[in-house]
């Protein structure tokens, strides 16, 4: 049986990412308190080869997707 006192919770360290569209460096808090969770701009799953977008590119991509509908 696992001893609960021996279980460790990994530290959630903010990641440093580069926007896959413009290359801007930004931080991502994987705890769920990331700035992108506060954004109203929502997109479908990323395109192949794309990861997270910076705030400006996320907003621009959301506006383009909205206009295309």
* Domain chopping of the chain, boundaries: 14-68
pTM: 0.64
- What's the mean pLDDT in 59-69? 84
Is residue 61 within 8 A of residue 21, CB to CB? The reply is: yes
The token duo for 26 is 């930004």
pLDDT at 22: 94
9, pLDDT greater than 60 = no
37, pLDDT greater than 90 = no
pLDDT at 10: 55
pLDDT band at 8 (very low <50, low <70, confident <90, very high): low
Buried b (16+ CB within 10 A) or exposed e, 30-46: eeeebeeeeeeeeeeee
Give dist(CA 31, CA 40) in Å, integer: 19
């Amino acid at each position: 049986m696992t001893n609960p006192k021996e279980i460790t919770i990994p530290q959630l360290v903010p990641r440093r990412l580069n926007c896959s569209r413009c290359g801007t460096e930004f931080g991502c808090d994987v705890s769920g308190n990331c700035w992108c969770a506060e954004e109203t701009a929502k997109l479908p799953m990323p395109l192949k080869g794309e990861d997270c977008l910076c705030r400006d590119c996320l907003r621009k991509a959301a506006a383009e997707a909205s206009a295309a509908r």
